Chain A
Amino acid sequence: MKKEELKAQLYDEIAKCNRCGFCLAVCPVYAAVGKEWATPRGKNALIRAIIEGKIDWTPEIEESLYRCTGCRLCTQTCFPAVETNQGVLAGRECLVEKRLYPQVIDRVVEAIENNFNISNEPNINRTMWMETMEGVPENRFQKEKAEVIYFTGCVASFYPMAHKIPQNLVRIFHRAHVDFTLLGGEEWCCGFPLIQAGMKEKMKTLKEHNEKMVQKVGAKTIVFACPSCYHTWREMYQTDAEPLHSTQFIERLIAEGKIIFQDGRERIVTYHDPCDLGRNSKVFDPPRNILKKIPGVKLVELENNRQLSMCCGGGGDLEMIDPDLSSAIAKRKIEEIQKTGAEEVVTACQQCIRTISGYARKNKIKLKVRDITEVVLEAMSA
C-alpha cells in the first residue's frame, strides 16, 4: 500500500486519537513491553506521523506495527473507538511494499503459495489428522454434496498438537447425524495469515478457490472450529452458505436434541474468550450455553471476560513473529486463569490452546487446557 492510500483510508480514523492513553491500561503488548512504541496510542501516532510526512518508515516502526495481537481490546475500551488494528494492518501493507517486515513471514507466504497451507506439507495431506484416529470411513469424510462443510483450518489440519480438534468435531458430527463433508485437499488457507502479514492482496486466489469449492458442494452451512478462519470468512468472503463457528453449530444441535449429554464429572471450569471469536465476531454466549448444559460443570468467569477478555498472546501471527513476547502475554493470561481457582480452562480456538498450554508446559504449571469440542464429546460419551 502507498502512503496516499493509507491517508485516504485511515487519516480521519486516526485523527480521532487524542493521545489520552486509556489504551495503555489494557494493551497486552504494552503490559509486557512497557515502552511507548508498544502502545496503541503510539501506533496511531506513528501512522499519523507517516501520513503527515513527519517521519519515514523505519525498522523501529516495523518492530512496533508487527507487535500487535489484533485483539482489539484497545478499540473496545476507547471512547471514540479508534480502530487501531486497521491502521496497524494498513501500515504493515505499506511496510511490505518497502520490504520492511519480519523475515519469518516469507516462510509462511512461500508455504501458502506453494502448498496452499501454512505448513511444509503438500495440501493433499490436509486429512493427515485422521492417521491417529480409529474408524475413519473410506471416503475420509468427503463427499460431493452435503448440507454442511467443515472447514478444518491449517493449524488443526497439519499440527499434531491440534489434531484432536477435527478428530473430536467429526465424531460429534457423526453421532449427531450431521450431513457434512470436508473439502480435503481442496480446502486452501483462508488467507488470515496473509492479512496479518500485510499481504492482503495475495489472498485473492485463495478466496476465489474456497468460494468456488463451497459453491460446488452446495452446502447451506460452513462450520469453523478456528475463530480466525471464521472471522476472516465473515469479513472477506461472499458465499450463500452461512458461516458458523463450531460453538454456534453445536448449540443448535443441542437445541434440536441431536446432542444429548450424559452425566459428567463435577468440576469447576473457566472459559477463555478467543479474541477473534468473542470481541471480533461477537460470539460470546454459545460456548457458555454449551458449558452450562454439561452436567457437573460449574462455570466461573475470568475477571476479564466477554468484550473485555484478555488476549492469550497468540493473536495476529505474534507467536510466529515474536515468540518471547507472545509467551510474556500468555503468562498474564495464565495468572488470570489461576485466580479463578478453576482446574480446567476451556476455550474454542486451537491457537489459544497452543499459546496457553505451551507456556504452562514450559514453565511446569499444572493446568488443563481444552478445546470445547473435546469437552462436548466427552460429555456425550460419559
Chain B
Amino acid sequence: MNRDQMIEELSKIVGKENVLFSETDLLLYGYDASLFKAKPDCIVLPNSTEEVSQIVKFAHREKIPIVARGSGTNLSGGTIPARGGIVIHFSRMNRVLEIDIKNQRAVVEPGVFTLTLKNQLARYGYVYQPDPASERVSTFGGNFGENSGGPHCLKYGVTTNHVLGAEIVLPDGEIIWVGGKALDHPGYDLTGLLVGSEGTLGIATKLVLRIVPKPEAVKTMLAIYNSLEDAGRTVSAIIAEGIVPATLEMLDRLTIKAVEESIHAGFPLDAEAVLLIEIDGLKDGMERLAERIIEICKENRAREVKAARTEEERAQLWAGRKGAFGAVARLRPNYLVCDGTVPRTKLPEVLTRVMEVGKKYNLPIANVFHAGDGNLHPLILFDERNEEELKKVHLAGSEILKICAEAGGTISGEHGIGTEKKKEMFFVFTPKDISAMRKVKRAFDPEDLFNPGKVLPEVQT
C-alpha cells in the first residue's frame, strides 16, 4: 500500500489532524532518549481504545509495523521505528479514569504521566510506589512497556508488582483484558508476561494500578564517604542485617559535582560517594532503626551521616538524585546510561572494574545507582558529535554489561533491551533460552508487526 492511501485510511479513523507524516514529523518521531535513530512512515494520535484497535487492525491487514510511544524517554531504543511503519503516540489518551480509594486501585489511560497520578493521589494521602527518576514525564504505557523501577522499588518492587491488570490491543487488533482489580487471577499470568515486553506483544490502552496509603513516617539520610568501596560495603552490611530501607541510592564524586552545579542539593563536593538512604513505615520504632543504620554507616567508615530535617531538605536531596542523569550533561554534552545489575555483595569489585573500562577507553564515567538492588547506572560521558568517541562509547557500554553478567548479574535492571542491547542478551541467555522467548512472541504476533526488531536477537539455527 502506498503512503498516501495509508494516511487516508488512518485519517478516517482518527481525523486528519491526528495523522502526521511530514519529513519534519518523521524526524521528530525518529528518536528517543537513547542513541538510536530511524524514521517511521507516519504517526497517529488516537483518542480511544476503539481507535487504537482500528489502527492496529488496519496495520495488521496491510502488514505494517506498529510502535507504541509514550513520552519517548526510554534509554534503549524502545520507541525507535527500526522497520518504519506507524508510531502510535498516546499523548491524547491521558485521562485518569478512576481513583478507587476503598479498594486501593486506580485506572489510567496509557498516556498519563506517572507523576500526574501521584499528585492526584497525594490529596487522598495515597501513593503509587514505583518512582522512576523520569516519573514527571514517563507515561504509564512506557512504565508498563519497560517494567520501570526506581529508588523505592528496593522495598516495594518494580512496575510489574503494581500493575494488576490491563486492557490490551493485540497485534491483530482484538481487544482483551488481562488481570483486573482482584489481587490474583486464575489462568496464565499474561499481565506478568506483558509488563516489560516493550510493546512487542500487546499495547496497553487501560491500566489497573495498585495504590497504597502513604507511609505514616519517612526519614531520609545522607551518608558521606571518602571512598566508594566503603559506601558499597555499607549497602551490603545494611541489607545483611535484615533491614530493608525504602531506598539505598549511591552517587559518586563526578555525579555529585554535576548535580551541585545544576541545583544545590546539598551533596558535599569533596566526598567520593554519598548514600541516600530512606526508611519509611510506622512512626513507632523508626528512630531506633535510623540509629542502627547510622551505626552501620559509621562502622563502614562513613565520614558523616546527616538526616533531612524538613520536607524541603528531603525534597532537595531527591531532586538532586532525580536530576543526576540530566545534570552530567554539564560535564560533557552526552551520556550513555548502562543498566547492569549485580549481586549486592559484588558492588565494590564491579565498580572498580567499571572504572577500569573508563580508563581503558579514556572516557569519564559517573556513577549514580540503585545500590540496594545492585542496579548500576554507570554514565559514560562523551560528545555524540565525535564519531570516534561514539564508537568507543558503544564498546565500553557493552564491556560494562559483560562485567555485570560475569559477576553473576544481568544486563538490564529497568531500562529494557530495545535495540540497544540485543546482542548482549547472549551474555545472559543461551540460544535455547532466546528461542523459548521467540515462541512466545510468535504466539502473540506471528507476523512480527509489534515493535519489530526489538528485545530478541536473531538465533542462528
Residue numbers of A with Cβ under 8 A of B are 12, 15-25, 34-37, 42, 45-46, 49, 54-55, 58, 60-61, 64, 78-81
How far is it, in angstroms, between the C-alpha of A54 and the C-alpha of B27 when the chains are bound?
Answer: 9
Given contacts A15-B333, A45-B28, contact A35 B325 (CB under 8 A): no
Write out the residue numbers on chain A whose beta carbons fall within 8 Å of the beta carbon of B333: 12, 15-16, 18
Q: Is the CB of A64 within 8 A of B262?
A: no
How far is it, in angstroms, between the C-alpha of A79 and the C-alpha of B330 when the chains are bound?
Answer: 8
Q: Is the CB of A61 within 8 A of B45?
A: no
Closest chain-B Cβ to A65's Cβ sits at a distance in Å of 11
Q: Is the CB of B22 within 8 A of A79?
A: no
The residue that A80 contacts in the complex, of B72, B134, B137, B327, with Cβ under 8 A, is B327
Q: Is the interface of B mostly helix, strand, loop or mixed?
A: loop
Given contacts A36-B25, A60-B25, A81-B262, contact A21 B73 (CB under 8 A): yes
Q: Is the CB of B33 within 8 A of A20?
A: yes
* Any A CB within 8 A of the CB of B15: no
Q: Is the CB of A21 within 8 A of B72?
A: yes
How far is it, in angstroms, between the C-alpha of A66 and the C-alpha of B330 when the chains are bound?
Answer: 28
Pick from B43, B73, B94, B262 the residue with the most CB of A within 10 Å: B73
Q: Is the CB of A19 within 8 A of B23?
A: no
Closest chain-B Cβ to A115's Cβ sits at a distance in Å of 36
How far is it, in angstroms, between the C-alpha of A347 and the C-alpha of B58 when the chains are bound?
Answer: 51
Q: Is the CB of B33 within 8 A of A55?
A: no
Write out the residue numbers on chain B whose beta carbons fall within 8 Å of the beta carbon of A60: 22-25
Q: Is the CB of A19 within 8 A of B262?
A: no
Given contacts A21-B137, A80-B326, contact A35 B45 (CB under 8 A): yes
* Any A CB within 8 A of the CB of B131: no
Size of chain B's interface in residues, with CB distance under 8 A?
A: 40
How far is it, in angstroms, between the C-alpha of A54 and the C-alpha of B26 when the chains are bound?
Answer: 12
Q: Mark B126-159, 1 if CB is under 8 A from A, else 0.
A: 0000000010110000000000000000000000
Q: Is the CB of B31 within 8 A of A37?
A: no
Pick from A25, A49, A54 the residue with the most CB of B within 10 Å: A25
Write out the residue numbers on chain B whose beta carbons fall within 8 Å of the beta carbon of A20: 33, 73, 134, 325-326
Q: Is the CB of A34 within 8 A of B326?
A: no
Q: Is the CB of B134 within 8 A of A79?
A: no
Closest residue of A by beta carbon distance from B87 = A36
Given contacts A20-B134, A24-B71, contact A35 B91 (CB under 8 A): yes
How far is it, in angstroms, between the C-alpha of A24 and the C-alpha of B94 when the chains are bound?
Answer: 14
21 pairs, A vs B, C-beta closer than 8 Å: A12-B333, A15-B385, A16-B333, A18-B329, A18-B334, A18-B335, A20-B33, A20-B134, A34-B92, A35-B89, A36-B25, A37-B25, A37-B28, A49-B27, A60-B25, A61-B24, A64-B24, A79-B326, A79-B329, A80-B262, A80-B329
Write out the residue numbers on chain B whose beta carbons fall within 8 Å of the beta carbon of A49: 27
Write out the residue numbers on chain B whose beta carbons fall within 8 Å of the beta carbon of A23: 137
Closest residue of B by beta carbon distance from A78 = B326
Write out the residue numbers on chain A whose beta carbons fall within 8 Å of the beta carbon of B383: 15
